[in-house]
Structure 1
Amino acid sequence: MRIKWFAFLAFVLISPKLAVAADTPKVLFLGIDGCRFDALRKANTPNLDRLIDRGIYADNTRIFHARYTTADTISGPGWSSILTGVWADKHGVLDNQFKVSHYDKFPHLFVRAKEQLPETKTASLVCWAPIDQYIVASADKRYSFTEKDYGERDDAATDEAVKQLSDASIDVVFLYLGATDEAGHASGFHPANPKYVETIQAADARIGRVLAAIESRASYQDEDWLVVVTSDHGGKGTSHSNGHEVPEIFNSFLIVSGDSAERGKFETDTYIVDASATVLKHLGIDAPEDWQLDGQPVGLKK
């Protein structure tokens, strides 16, 4: 009997798969509206740089698929695609009016997570009201910040994210930051625009606060945190509408970071719909065929 016990103990100590399996999967899902990756690289972003170094990234993540280009290259279709994992011909949102949507059939990723794992605890913190009003569903905690200034909104959302992460039961946090898009519309989406770059740096500082909150959790050592970062579009001049032929607009980015993420740069195509599929996979959910997801899990270790 003692021989069997020592054999089992040795297996536990040398088996990396068993060690990883003991960690509880958690997700921080970050959205930075209207953020161009070339401007992110120009900015001083130590926290996002650390996420890239501890993960895998793409600098040309497409915001729409050639299958369907009717939807405008703006936030309504963009965040709908990101948060449902399907393109606009399925979720139905073509602009920022949300006159038509099919979220009943193609819902927010929190709905999907709870279908498979009902005990999943989620929180949504957004600074653009339509995301909360139309897209988000099944969040255990749900906050929409509407202060006049987007910087103030982002600060308030970050404060609440830090607060929510003190709850040991939380599994998935979605945090949306909007000041970068506001700056692009005001003075230009371009890495040579100091005001635009400054808002990316401010977003990075807020992300640093949230990462620190994660790392200060008493249960952190027993958790497997995946951080996913993306944007709904880029921009050119002071706009990003009608950008189907404009690379500065239709290229977004995707960062997948953490112990369970691969390292380096994506060598295959990525799409914004891949973000939610990746979140679900990290939580241990294999999407059933009847969900009809267009996104695929990407950047995760096999």
Structure 2
Amino acid sequence: MYPKWKLIVQSKWFVCLAFVLMSPVVVVAADTPKVLFLGIDGCRFDALRKANTPNLDRLIEQGIYADNTRIFHPRYTTADTISGPGWSSILTGVWADKHGVLDNQFKVSHYDKFPHFFARVKEQSPELKTASLICWAPIDQYIVANADKRFSFTEKDYGKRDDAATDEAVKQLADESLDVMFLYLGATDEAGHASGFHPANPQYVETIQAADARIGRVLTAIQARSSFENEDWLVVVTSDHGGKGTSHSNGHEVPEIYNSFLIVSGDAAQRGKFDSDTYIVDAPATALKHLGIDASEDWQLDGKPVGLKK
């Protein structure tokens, strides 16, 4: 799909250039910013590199990436290195000492003060349309807010959940009014718990390959939008943690667990590899910046926009 995507983009610029050369005064409207935010639960980057992942590889090639994105900040290590705190940080842009979630029980949370980044979208740009597709129910139950379209998939088999979520994502992307989508895929984490988080584990690697195929379907759906030529899509990809053995709990001193990854891809993204530290809280801040939303000091975000050209 990407060669065609690139050809379309190049064709747009040829048309614009020809118009400029023929016209004394030209006003070229900027493409509308859009965001696809992808979460792959429990995905180790070294295993991603071992896997056959043409779609994620292309996103990396057409963007900027980090293979050592930290899942917690040294100032606060009370929260466990598991999904509740991880996705809370990824979706709110603040660390656990602010959002309050320390484990998967969600007994304490401060989402009223530090909400899902969709709430920040709506605060400054209420006209923007948001969609959330989740395959781990607690994210939808506790974290998600201000989603115009909201889906939670609870099939017993995580592969089937991820397939259903991908099907729905493709369907939702046909709606030209959609501006921001968050899609969570969970089968990779399930495979790690079952047989091991490691690039030498074929079952684990296969689930990453399956996630890549699903992502490819979603990217194809974006390209198929009738409004695509007038849109500026940024794709952000990250994970909440890695893993070692069949676990990722208590991983504050374990690099295989506390290192995640971050991919920022699209025309608006820089190219190459990050040469400075990145954190999972940077992912929503980057999405907001691309949408033209400047973070208010009152939000107290810990994340910052990273990997954008401007």
Instruction: Please give the per-residue CA displacement for 1:76-122, whole angstroms capped at 9, x wherever unaligned.
Output: 00000000000000000000000000000000000000000000100
Task: Give the structure 2 partner of residue 118 of structure 1.
Answer: 126
Give the equivalent residue in structure 2 for 1:15. Answer: none
Aligned to 1:159: 167
CA distance in 1, matches of 2:50, 2:121: 36
CA 216–58 in structure 1, closer or farther in 2 if over 3 Å, else same: same
1:184 aligns with 2:192: yes
| 2:39 alignment partner, one of 13, 31, 54 | 31
Q: Deviations over 1:186-224 (max 9, x none)?
A: 000000000000000000000000000000111101000
RMSD: 1.3
Corresponding residue of 1:213: 221
Matched, 1:174 2:182: yes
Secondary structure, counterpart of 2:188 in structure 1: helix
AA aligned to 1:179 is A
Aligned length: 291
* Counterpart-to-counterpart distance in 2, 1:262 and 1:222: 20
The runs of at least 4 aligned residues of structure 1 exceeding 3 Å deviation read 6-12
Kindly state the Cα deviation for residue 22 of structure 1 after the two structures are TM-superposed: 1.3
Shift in CA distance, 191/11, structure 1 to aligned 2, threshold 3 Å = farther
C-alpha distance in 2, partners of 1:43/1:287? 36
Aligned counterpart for 2:288 among listed residues 246, 269, 280: 280
Equivalence for 1:3: none
Paired residue for 2:157?
Answer: 149
Unaligned runs of 5+ in 2: 1-19
Separation in structure 1 between the aligned mates of residue 269 and residue 226 of structure 2, nearest angstrom: 23
CA distances 1:171-193 after superposition (whole Å, capped 9, x unpaired) = 00100000000000000000000
Task: Structure 1: give runs of 5+ residues left out of the alignment.
Answer: 1-5, 13-17
Distance in 2 (alpha carbons) for counterparts of 1:7 and 1:34: 51
| Structure 1 residues 41-52: aligned runs within 5 Å | 41-52=49-60
Amino acid of the residue matched to residue 243 of structure 1? G
What TM-score, normalized by structure 1, do the two folds share? 0.95
**Counterpart-to-counterpart distance in 1, 2:293 and 2:213:** 32
CA distance in 1, matches of 2:88, 2:75: 17
Q: Deviations over 1:134-162 (max 9, x none)?
A: 00000000000000000000000000000
CA distance in 2, matches of 1:7, 1:46: 38
Task: Report SS of the residue matched to 2:178.
Answer: coil
Identity %: 86
Q: Does 1:249 align with 2:257?
A: yes
User: Deviation of residue 9 (structure 1)?
Assistant: 3.9
Superposed counterparts of 1:286-301, under 5 Å: 286-301=294-309
Give the C-alpha shift of residue 8 in structure 1: 11
Partner Cα distance (2:21, 2:206) in 1: 57
For the residues of structure 1 that align with 2:69 and 2:202, how far apart are their CA atoms? 24
**1:171 match: secondary structure:** strand
Name which of 231, 234, 237 aligns with 1:223.
231
